[in-house]
Amino acid sequence: MSRKRYTEEQIVRILKEAAAGVRTEEICRKYGVSPNTFYHWRNKYAGMTVPDIKRLRALEDENLRLKKKVAELILENDAAKVILSKNW
């Protein structure tokens, strides 16, 4: 079975449908998502609008990029310390 990726708009629409009173089991069956995925979306995106979700995703991407840079700098710093600590 192929894995589907839902856009922010689709996730918001699904969550609004659930807030309108449709049962969770029906929503999961209709959109082909597991209940765990639905509850994860609900915990993460509840009460958000599409621009909020896009901004959140952009911030998460920026955070990931910065974490990679920090990891690279730490590795370079450790390598420099090893080289400088040797007695030549």
- pTM of the full predicted structure? 0.67
Distance CA 85, CA 41 (A): 50
For 25-77, the pLDDT digits (tens) are 999 999 999 999 999 999 999 889 999 989 999 999 999 999 999 999 999 99
Give me the CATH topology for the region 1-48.
Arc Repressor Mutant, subunit A (1.10.10)
For 6-23, the pLDDT digits (tens) are 998 999 999 999 999 999
Q: Which residue has the tokens 């629409």?
A: 13
Distance CA 29, CA 21 (A): 15
Q: Write the single-letter amino acid at 43.
A: N
